[in-house]
Every structure is written in C-alpha cells, then in structure tokens.
Amino acid sequence: MSGLANEHDAINLSQGFPDFLCDEKLISLVEQFMRKGLNQYAPMPGILSLREMIAEKTEQLYQSKYNPETEITITPGGTEAIYAAITSVIHEGDEVIVFEPAYDCYAPAIELNRGVPIYVELNPPDYKIDWNAVKKLVSQRTKMIMINSPHNPTGAVLNANDIRQLQRITQNSDIIILSDEVYEHIIFDGLQHHSILKYPKLAERAFVIFSFGKTYHNTGWKMGYCLAPAELMKEFRKAHQFIVFSANTPIQHAFAEMMKDPSYYFGLSEFYQKKRDYFIRLIEEVPFTVTPASGSYFQCVGYENIAEVKDYDFAIRITKEFGVASIPVSSFYHHGMDYKMLRFCFAKEDSTLEKAAERLQKLIKKKSR
C-alpha cells in the first residue's frame, strides 16, 4: 500500500510509521558515537550499558528483575526478536496459537521453522479473546501461545482478566508465551499495560519483546530487544547469533544514554491519545463506523455504510481516487476474513491527518436500496 500511495501521490496512512522526526538529541547522540569510532560489531547480546538500562527500566516499570548478562538481548527490531524466539523453541509439528488478525511476521516465522500456526479469530468491534475457544485448542502439541497487547492492527488491549485466563489455561504446562509488547507505552483512556513481566508465573516461561522504533519514533532504525529467563535466553541467543549476530552499535550507545530520562516514554500515551482523538474528530462526518483504539497508533474503521466491495478493493479505490492509503484488515487474517474494515495509522503530523481527513470527507453514504 505504501508503494501504491507513492504511485498515486496519496497521503500514506497505511504502513505504521511516524512522519515526524525523532528527538534531535537522539540523532546527535548517534552522530557523536559514530564520530567517536563506535562503528564496529557490538557484542552478540548487545552492549552491556544498554542491557543494564533496560534491566533498570523493567524493574521500575514492571517490578520484574532481569539479569542484563543472561536474560536481555538487543535485536535489530522486534521482528528479529520474534523470529529468533520462535526459531529457538519451535520444531517440526509444534503448534503455536496465534490470534488473528495478527501482525504479519508471526505465521511465516512459525512456518519457516516447520511449526503449525493454530489460529483463533478475533472479531470486530472489540476483538476480545474467547478464552474458552483457546482452551479447546490447547493440546500436548501446543508449544507456544503468542499474544500482542496493545494490538496491531486493531488497537485492542488485554486486561487483567485476559491475563488470568491465560495463566489458568497454561498452568501446569510447559507452554511458552511469546508476548509482543512493542506498543507498551502507547495505551489510552487511563488503561494499564498488563505486561507479562508483571506476572511471574507466566514470565518464567515467556519471551517478551519490545521495539525502540515505536517508542522513539524511528522505526527505520530497526532496534528492539527481548527479555526471557536465562534458560530460554540461552536458546534464543543460539538462534540470534547466526541470524544476525548483533544490532547496530552507535544506536545502542545512543539509546543507553537516552534511556536515562524515563520522562520521554511516560509522555507517549498522552501524545498519541491526542492524535487518536484528533483523527477521530477529523473524520467524524465521514460515514465510517469507529470504535476508538485503546492502544497502538492504529485506528480501524468500518466502511459498511459507504460501500459493499471487498476491503482490499476499497483500500485501493480510496488510495487511487481519494488519495489516502490505508491497509485492508483482511490482510491480517490468513484466510483474508473481510469485515469491511480499514486500518489507518495516526502517527502523523496533525497537518497530514487534516489533509487526509479533508480527502476522506468526500466519501459518502451508499444509497439504501
């Protein structure tokens, strides 16, 4: 969709990335470390000072202790962390429970390792998990359950009861949890992020994955990290070592410095909630159906009042004819389940959102038959 947006000079609210600059301080820190000569391979698990900062943050935010030497690894983005975690524990025939719609790297990572994704479908408008359905799918073959909160693409957020249910279903089992928490700091309306790190019974067999790109507005730097107990992390590093070996050196040094100021990420929910609210207000007159996202920087909308075509076709149409690109939510379901929903990324300058909304105003209600 980004390609199509460029081709048609459309405003690109499709792919998830901010169109504003990251903090100037971060850019000058990277430059500083490059000029200092820190341009060669970092240690395989990442530079120690950054792992120490992450351990400190984890303890402060989630009251959870991770040993920087043995339980924290810096990765080139959350995506590599997800791939390495899956590769380290999933073998032929192992089943992995995946909630759909899902971020698009999950199933390929499972399948490349000859694992079997077992899909649980989540439905609009609230995309709640039916834990009884999950329970029925759990068997001796279940090796892993993947969760993602706040959720891409739907903006849904897991609550304390969801975590209790997950705990109930996996207790007395060896099922590993992969918790994708890349949007940990982007959560709205006073909701709390229920990190798996806060639940020791789950954390003791979990990979928990984060991304600097989402928190510091630089998705193109591809930087993230994984936390896991030592035994799991030992396996993780065996895969990570030969997938990529290590992540970008000067940027690691810059983040280690940047993380000394936690006020940065504490302001993120408020920053993005304002953008969500503004975007929703701007498209108020468009006959979309909107359930405000509870987290992430994505807002899904239903267009059933406007057209009956497939979401894929509708997304292409509004890119070409109206000049606004989005992502059809069916692309996040392996069977292309089509609830006539589009995902818009609101991590954009207000002026970009205004221009997009102005164009979307031209969408009118379909005539009733």
List interacting residues with ligand PMP (CB under 6 A).
16, 77-79, 103, 148, 152, 180, 182, 211, 213, 219, 222, 224
Q: In what order do the strands lie in the sheet with 224-227?
A: 72-75, 224-227, 206-211, 176-180, 142-148, 95-100, 116-121
For ligand PMP, give the closer residue by CB, 104 or 350: 104
In the complex, least distance from residue 176 CB atom to ligand PMP, rounded to whole angstroms: 17
Helix then strand then coil, in percent of the chain rounded to 5, is 40, 15, 40
For ligand PMP, give the closer residue by CB, 224 or 323: 224
In the complex, least distance from residue 105 CB atom to ligand PMP, rounded to whole angstroms: 7
In the complex, least distance from residue 82 CB atom to ligand PMP, rounded to whole angstroms: 6
Question: Whole-angstrom Cα distance, residue 54 to residue 68?
Answer: 8
Instruction: With beta carbons less than 8 A apart as the criterion, state whether 192 and 23 touch.
Output: no
Q: What is the DSSP letter of 63?
A: -
Q: Which of 338, 205, 185, 171 has its CA nearest to residue 269? A: 185
For ligand PMP, give the closer residue by CB, 213 or 250: 213
For ligand PMP, give the closer residue by CB, 322 or 333: 333
For ligand PMP, give the closer residue by CB, 33 or 106: 106
In the complex, least distance from residue 6 CB atom to ligand PMP, rounded to whole angstroms: 19
Q: Which two tokens stand for residue 350?
A: 């207000």
In the complex, least distance from residue 15 CB atom to ligand PMP, rounded to whole angstroms: 8
Instruction: With beta carbons less than 8 A apart as the criterion, state whether 210 and 184 touch.
Output: yes
In the complex, least distance from residue 182 CB atom to ligand PMP, rounded to whole angstroms: 4
Question: Whole-angstrom Cα distance, residue 319 to residue 9?
Answer: 9
Buried b (16+ CB within 10 A) or exposed e, 163-190: bebbeebbeeeebbbbbbbbbbbbbbee
Question: Whole-angstrom Cα distance, residue 175 to residue 142?
Answer: 7
Instruction: With beta carbons less than 8 A apart as the criterion, state whether 329 and 339 touch.
Output: yes
Question: Whole-angstrom Cα distance, residue 339 to residue 227?
Answer: 35
Task: Using CB positions, name the residue nearest to ligand PMP.
Answer: 77
For ligand PMP, give the closer residue by CB, 207 or 360: 207
In the complex, least distance from residue 210 CB atom to ligand PMP, rounded to whole angstroms: 8
For ligand PMP, give the closer residue by CB, 183 or 282: 183
For ligand PMP, give the closer residue by CB, 113 or 286: 113
In the complex, least distance from residue 220 CB atom to ligand PMP, rounded to whole angstroms: 9
Question: Whole-angstrom Cα distance, residue 320 to residue 304?
Answer: 19
